[in-house]
Amino acid sequence: MLFTWDTTNLCIVFRQWHVRSTTSLLFSLLAVVLIAVGYEALRALSRRYEDTLAKSVQALPRQNQGQADQRAHIIKAVLYALQNFYAFMLMLVFMTYNGWVMIAVTLGAFIGYVTFGQKTSATKDNACH
């Protein structure tokens, strides 16, 4: 694969997502930006869930905390798996090696962080996602 700035004849992840014109490229870039924003929204949702959970579990009687912790752990695991899937799909989008698509992913991450990351550090918790 080679780095390119092509605006037509570009496949993004799936055979069905085939860019054949400049107009379809613009719509695809908008979709990529929104997808990247969505990833940051999912990360914010996960953080908010964990913050809310920590407060609500402590308010429960001791005998109910264990059961609540187990259910919460399953929900956190689902959110974690979704974040990983989302991150790897964004990585595949980025790996089209098309400069326009790479900029769209980066712009989406920027907009998503500005919108949803007010209370978080700009450094990542995980090395890969």
| Single pTM value for the model | 0.84
Average pLDDT over residues 56-67: 67
Domain-embedded: residue 4: no
Instruction: Please choose, from the candidates 88, 80, 82, 90, the residue with its C-alpha nearest in 3D space to the C-alpha of residue 112.
Output: 90
Q: What is the pLDDT of residue 69?
A: 77
Q: How confident is the model at residue 65 (pLDDT cuts 50, 70, 90)?
A: low
Q: How confident is the model at residue 57 (pLDDT cuts 50, 70, 90)?
A: low
Q: What percent of the chain has pLDDT over 90?
A: 70
Q: Which residues pair with 98 in a beta bridge?
A: 4
- Of 11-25, 40-54, 82-96, give the lowest mean pLDDT range: 40-54
Which residues form the domain of 21? Answer: 10-116
Domain-embedded: residue 121: no
Domain-embedded: residue 123: no
Query: Which H or E element spans position 60?
Result: none
Q: How many domains are there within the chain?
A: 1
Per the CB < 8 A criterion, the answer to whether 122 and 113 are in contact is yes
